[in-house]
Structure 1
Amino acid sequence: MKIYYAIPYLFLGNLIWAQQVQKDTVKSTEIKEVVLKKKTLQKKSDRMVYDVGNSPVAKGNNGFELLKQTPMLSSTDDKSLKVLGKGSTKIYINGKAQTMDADAIVDMLKSMPAENISKIEVITVPSSEFQVEGNEAIVNVILKKKSSDGINGNVKIEDQIAKSNSATLSTSFNYRKGKFGLQANVNGGKIVRDQYYILTNGNDGGAQPFSLKSEGDVVSKFGQWGGYLNMDYQLTDRQKLDFSFQHRDKEEKPSTTNFINELRNSGSLFEITQTLNTTNSKVSNQSYNLGYEWLTDDKGSKLNANASYMYFDKTGVNNNSTVLLNTQQQPVSILKQFNQSTPLRINNWALKADYVQQLKSGHVLSAGLAYNNTLTDSDTRFENILPPTGLDGNQSNHFAYEEKIYGIYGTWEKKWSDRTNTKLGLRYESTNAEGNVLDKNIQIERKDGDWLPFASFNYNMNEDHQFSTSFSSRVRRPSFWALNPVKIYLTANNYIQNNPFTQSELVYNTELQYIFKSSYFITASYGFTDRALEQVPLSGMKNDGSGESVLAYISTNYGTKKEFSLSFGMQKQYFKGIWQMNNSLVLGYNQYKGTVYGDPTDTQNLVTFQKYELDRQSQFVQLQLNNTIRLSPQKDWYLGVNYFYLSPIELVVGKMNTLHSLDLSLKKMHKNWTFSLEAKDVFGTNKNYIKGSDGFGNYNIVDQNQYNRKLVLGLTYNFGNQKVQKVKKSESANDDVRSRTGS
């Protein structure tokens, strides 16, 4: 991006006046325009900073779409973000980690006008002061803030036309008066998400091969509303208070799953059934954060203190029935019918304090401590409608769980010169957890203590060549929802089984990065995970004499995982800013090894599962091309051409086929209005197909169409005084809890 500055005449005023005193005649001086290039991509000591400012990419877009087009970030499912094609991503807003559940954070980003965003910081290997889980990267979204008294904001309306229609409305505004500042957003909408599944599992290697195929629609209908409020007050020149609040309500009314199931033995059709599931649920999620900052000297030393509270409450009832059909798919009799309530309540309190001391000769010392206390409660009830009617004690449970995490860290950073920087850190985390299945007298106790070192080194040869390397180790704890030992049924014999006996992962990451002219980067990274945790598909047979087969996705620690990637990227403008390119290529290698012997929650031996041996390795290629082309000299028409490609890749559950998608967009700016039209997944190629096998003839296939091909219409209006500046950053205390609340 080029910014043009005409040099003011007063810049030479004193010199010209001095000459006029001695001369009767003043010669005219020609002042030429000076052109400065603003770096939109900069590498700082521990992060990459993408300055979006008033970029045309941001105009008329939402926050999630803008993040997808940020260097090193990508999304293949429109629900999650990945850094350099690997791991998960923790979202920060203005330096505060978002503690809402994962779906709520994505919905918030999608409702946030991209015009509100000033900068995006990508931290691929977080240092010791950050609370992260496993190999999580950090993306910090810095919102714009008014630098003068007054108010500004925007209103955004969006309509998505796919198989069904969805509409959302969002309004945001900034206000500043003296020492007080406020940012607020309110959003809501009615969403319909359609999916079509073909689920197949069976055994083709035994004496009596069989297969079970379930095919049908999954339709989620829900209304939601929410928003956020950020406030700050400058107590003195050195002290500041800030407060933030986030809220989200979501109500499904209802969501339906309708599967036709065909069971075949030795290739012949044996039985046809229909499984119909309807879900009515409500989710309320709230987060509060209070922060204090004190600048203790003029060198940048400061004290930060933070207190947070997060509340998550989900109530839901699933009505499930399986009906026997004849060959004409007409109902014959009801085989199974039940209601299942799956509530989940999470309360989290957190405290955090950090102190940074700037010393002489470029030394920086920092230290901090953190405390998290989380209480979860889930009273799952499984009620049979058919005889034997009533509550099923084997599939009902009341699970209560408490987890306390104590953390302490220290870092030392030294700037040896303008070119060289070193940072070392050490973090210790202690986890004390107790879980109880109250109605079955099952107790789980976990006490872990982990030392987690960090090291980084940065060398800037000159403005054109920058090198950095880093190493970190982290703990990844299981999600709270996955600890509740409950079955979530897809069909009568195909379900997800959560597991309270899972252990935390130990994750080690190292990275080497080179940046050329602040526009091109090469990154090599390696990650190793011990006690790797995933949902593993297990095939089994019921022990009730029925001979029915079962496919269960068990949350468990299966073994080890290795990940290696080599990434090439660029962020560049051509033809005086007419064509803006943001492209990346990832070459990756993954390896999974381990063995799962059964379901540890099946204490009554209801199912006999076969051993699942995992020994997979995979090479893959991921390509992402983002292009924005200015169509008019007035800078009011823009064309977007975006494409991503992911080659076949091995996952724990099986091999996923190629994914790729072409997205096109057209934007028109007129004064304070932005009109946008987007065509996503133009050729309808973004579909999931995964096939896995266990080496014993058992296989499972997931064929999923999420109807990603859609037309999106958007309208954004900006109002008020548009003078903005970046917001000072402040971390949240309970940031390591956020990623464990979503499902």
Structure 2
Amino acid sequence: MKKLIISLALLTGFAAIAQEKPKADSTKTQDIKEVVLTKQVFQKKADRFIYDVAASPVAKGNTAFGLLKETPLVSTTDDKTLRIAGKSNAIIYIDGRVTQMDAESLVIFLKNTPAENIQRIEVITMPGSEYKVESSDGIINIILKKKATNGLNGNMRMNNSQSYYNSSSAGLSLNYRKDKLGINSNFNISENIEEQYYLLRNGNSQATNQSEGRVTDPNKNIGGYLNIDYQFNDKNSLALTYNSRANRSYNSTVNLFNANTDLINNFTDYTWTRSKEDARSYNNSLNLNYELKTDSLGSKLNLNAAGLVYRRFQSSNNFTIASDENGNDYGKILKISQEQPQLIDNFSATADYIQKFKKDLTISVGGNFNNTKTDNDTKYKSFHYITNLEENEPNHFLYDENIFGAYLTVEKLFSPKFSGKVGTRYELTKSEGKSDNAQDINLRNIKRDYDKFLPYISMNYAINEQNNLSYAFSSRMKRPSFWELNPIKNILTEFNYIQNNPFVKASSVYSQELTYMYKSSYFLILSHRLVKDQITQVPLQGVIDGKNQLRYIRTNFGDNQQMNAMLGMQKSFFKGYLTSNFNIGVQRNINNGSLNQDPLTGEMFPVYENHKKSTSLLVQTNNNIQLDKNKTWFMGVNYFYMDKQQMELGELANLMSLDLSLKKIWNNWTFSLNMEDVLDTYTILIQDNQENGNYNYVDQNPYKGGFDFSIVYNFGNQKVKKVRNIDSADKEIKSRTK
């Protein structure tokens, strides 16, 4: 059930011009030397944008997450996920190494990290070959300030939010350094209830469906991490990192009132869908890192070994209840019970070596290995109260995947103005999925072996002190998440559900980007992105026994192209009292896909096709206003607008939100009040009309508006040097567990 709800919610970010949680690898490649004539808050280097927040007033009293939302090219639409100009999921790195946390833990970590600890933020829109393929949507690398003295410091944060329901969270972070030993830890807890309203309509000339109601999802979370880093000498370092997170979502409910109309016989059948779901998940990972510096130029060897254990246990009961047009209950008709456990075990290893030469030449080489095993022993049982008929459809799906990867990159500074970088990555994937009790013989053994070379090239030309021009081409690959491969149904109503698909294959992503920057404040980005065999969900509709059936099929759905032209500015005015980040752009979407068969059951449906194009305007601005001379009062005014646009599921109506904030800094305390979607304009509307007469309409209100109040207290020796963050070997696997 939740997979359908979540999938629809994520549609909001398909074309955000500057919006989204996640992973990269900056230590595997070093920035080649470039001429920086004057210190600028925002500037363009060879393969990344640099935002020097230590020199920006926006960092005062902010959190790392709040600062990222106000970073040029970066924003968020849901206060959970971060996006880079027109791309879906950004990968988060700290000091060039990926964090050890899953997506939700990472958000809490960023919301509990003071922005004053950050030196600069690097936005890499086109990752090179040294970055694993999952980073196709861009990388955000957070560089922390380096402080020298020993001691202990920490940060405590308390937060309370009021939207549809009240939610709260608290966190504690501690940093300790004594000579060669560094220890870094975090502990956080949170509790919230997510409420969403839905109006779903679909049908054709023979039959129609309408479902209206609410989804309520309570969550309790507890998590944390521990990093221990020991530097034996100037050349050798060893680090151990442990991350843990637990989530409990009990009594998650769906209450939908359904009207199913048979237009041929002019009869409407009214029912209620009421379901209850209990779920809990555990995510634990351990990473061991060894680093050896081989010379004084910065050459080094980096080795990682990691283990990941993920467990999710989910059970649900879905009832269809007879009703009349006034919503009166007349007894249960159907009960669908499901148990959907997901067990994931992963072992990963990486090796990376960087060789730097005196003549401004850097060569990087490395490889990785991943083995992942998933075990999904699903139970599905339906009981018809009228006929007393009981049906069982169990499915025990096992999946074993091995990934081998290797890369080579070469960077060269040809002159003080011109630099270039070329590279390639080779990926080999061997996987086998099988259902030992599947009714369909085609599901009993699904083997897939494929490999791919992924070239990369970038060039940067500093025309003069005020003008910079760069170009990059990148080829990547996107593998399906593990849950997408598990061939189960996620029920919303009796006639409306999502169907996962073990036959989904990896999609290919080809991107190119031309960037011009003027005075380190104004920029123009022209980009093109082609996704072949795009992974998405497609609504198949058909009339069976007078009832319109709607199945959201997870599949590869043809090709998708995005073309963007974006103008941006990051600049301070009135002696720093106003800092403004403004982006305006045009995005062109071209979809090209069709489907008429359920890949699991083989059933044929009227063809669903999307060969439509759209051109959309996108606007986003973040403004930070200093209200007093002592720099203790600040006000934030943030706004984004996304024009209607065509996606795989249909036309997404325009989205808009205005957010306001007020902040007070008092000694080591920071008090913040944030007001989101103050105009109550953020609602998701999707509509599609097919030539064959089928139509589909989704109205979703996530209740984004509300108030958020937080108190932060910094204590201890603020000069503590941060622990060395380690690049986990299992980073690309974690992003596929959700």
The normalised TM-score by structure 2 is 0.91
Q: AA paired with 1:319? A: N
Q: How far apart, in 2, do the equivalents of 1:726 and 1:577 lie?
A: 29
Check conservation: 1:259, 1:276, Cα contact below 8 A.
yes
Aligned twin of 1:12: none
Instruction: Provide closer, same or farther for how the CA distance between residues 467 and 390 of structure 1 changes in structure 2, counting only shifts above 3 A.
Output: farther
1:232 aligned counterpart, secondary structure: strand
Aligned twin of 2:527: 525
Aligned twin of 1:48: 49
- C-alpha displacement of 1:724: 5.5
1:45 aligned counterpart, secondary structure: coil
Instruction: Provide closer, same or farther for how the CA distance between residues 182 and 146 of structure 1 changes in structure 2, counting only shifts above 3 A.
Output: farther
Aligned twin of 2:58: 57
Check conservation: 1:224, 1:249, Cα contact below 8 A.
yes
Q: How far apart, in 2, do the equivalents of 1:417 and 1:401 lie?
A: 51
Q: How far apart, in 1, do the equivalents of 2:485 and 2:105 lie?
A: 21
Matches within 5 A, 1:585-604: 585-603=584-602
Aligned twin of 2:134: 133
Q: AA paired with 1:75? A: T
Check conservation: 2:191, 2:219, Cα contact below 8 A.
yes
Return the match for 1:384 from 378, 382, 385.
382
Matches within 5 A, 1:297-446: 297-386=295-384, 392-394=391-393, 396-440=394-438, 442-446=444-448
Aligned twin of 2:620: 624
Matches within 5 A, 1:162-173: 162-173=163-174
Instruction: Provide closer, same or farther for how the CA distance between residues 408 and 258 of structure 1 changes in structure 2, counting only shifts above 3 A.
Output: same
Q: How far apart, in 2, do the equivalents of 1:108 and 1:649 lie?
A: 34
- C-alpha displacement of 1:91: 2.0
Return the match for 2:493 from 487, 491, 494.
491
Q: How far apart, in 2, do the equivalents of 1:272 and 1:78 lie?
A: 37
Aligned twin of 2:214: 217
Aligned twin of 2:189: 188
Check conservation: 1:59, 1:674, Cα contact below 8 A.
no
Segment of structure 1 superposing worse, 414-423 or 728-737: 728-737
Check conservation: 1:85, 1:622, Cα contact below 8 A.
no
2:534 aligned counterpart, secondary structure: strand
Q: How far apart, in 2, do the equivalents of 1:373 and 1:729 lie?
A: 24
Q: Does 1:471 align with 2:473?
A: yes
Aligned twin of 1:10: none
Instruction: Provide closer, same or farther for how the CA distance between residues 106 and 437 of structure 1 changes in structure 2, counting only shifts above 3 A.
Output: farther
Larger radius of gyration: 1
Gaps of 5+ in 1: 1-35
The normalised TM-score by structure 1 is 0.90
Aligned twin of 1:261: 258
Q: How far apart, in 2, do the equivalents of 1:730 and 1:701 lie?
A: 46
Aligned twin of 1:712: 708
Instruction: Provide closer, same or farther for how the CA distance between residues 712 and 430 of structure 1 changes in structure 2, counting only shifts above 3 A.
Output: same
Check conservation: 2:91, 2:135, Cα contact below 8 A.
no
Return the match for 2:608 from 596, 612, 624.
612
Q: How far apart, in 2, do the equivalents of 1:651 and 1:246 lie?
A: 36
Return the match for 1:694 from 690, 695, 698.
690
Segment of structure 1 superposing worse, 482-491 or 340-349: 340-349
- C-alpha displacement of 1:45: 2.2
Check conservation: 1:195, 1:219, Cα contact below 8 A.
yes
- C-alpha displacement of 1:108: 4.0
- C-alpha displacement of 1:112: 4.2
Q: AA paired with 2:550? A: L
Task: Report Cα offsets for 1:164-220 as digits up to 9, x if no partner.
Answer: 1000001112111101112211111111111111111111xx3x3x32111111111
Q: How far apart, in 2, do the equivalents of 1:84 and 1:601 lie?
A: 36
Check conservation: 1:562, 1:591, Cα contact below 8 A.
yes
Aligned twin of 2:271: 273
Instruction: Provide closer, same or farther for how the CA distance between residues 98 and 701 of structure 1 changes in structure 2, counting only shifts above 3 A.
Output: farther
Aligned residues: 696
Aligned twin of 1:510: 512
- C-alpha displacement of 1:53: 3.1
Q: How far apart, in 1, do the equivalents of 2:288 and 2:236 lie?
A: 14
Instruction: Provide closer, same or farther for how the CA distance between residues 84 and 191 of structure 1 changes in structure 2, counting only shifts above 3 A.
Output: same
Q: AA paired with 1:517? A: K
Instruction: Provide closer, same or farther for how the CA distance between residues 311 and 118 of structure 1 changes in structure 2, counting only shifts above 3 A.
Output: farther
Gaps of 5+ in 2: 1-36
Task: Report Cα offsets for 1:498-540 as digits up to 9, x if no partner.
Answer: 0000111011111111122222221111111111121111112
Segment of structure 1 superposing worse, 55-64 or 523-532: 55-64
Segment of structure 1 superposing worse, 633-642 or 171-180: 171-180
Instruction: Provide closer, same or farther for how the CA distance between residues 612 and 392 of structure 1 changes in structure 2, counting only shifts above 3 A.
Output: same
- C-alpha displacement of 1:120: 2.0
2:67 aligned counterpart, secondary structure: helix
| CA RMSD across the alignment | 2.0
Task: Report Cα offsets for 1:44-93 as digits up to 9, x if no partner.
Answer: 32222223238543444443332221111122233322211223222223
Moved >6 Å (runs of 4+): 388-391
- C-alpha displacement of 1:643: 0.5
Check conservation: 1:128, 1:454, Cα contact below 8 A.
yes
Aligned twin of 2:248: 251
Aligned twin of 1:638: 634
Task: Report Cα offsets for 1:279-303 as digits up to 9, x if no partner.
Answer: 1110111222221211111111111
- C-alpha displacement of 1:243: 2.4
Q: How far apart, in 1, do the equivalents of 2:174 and 2:523 lie?
A: 36
Q: How far apart, in 1, do the equivalents of 2:528 and 2:192 lie?
A: 39
1:583 aligned counterpart, secondary structure: strand
- C-alpha displacement of 1:426: 1.0
Check conservation: 2:65, 2:110, Cα contact below 8 A.
yes
Aligned twin of 1:570: 569
Instruction: Provide closer, same or farther for how the CA distance between residues 108 and 346 of structure 1 changes in structure 2, counting only shifts above 3 A.
Output: farther
Q: AA paired with 2:435? A: V
Q: How far apart, in 1, do the equivalents of 2:515 and 2:290 lie?
A: 35
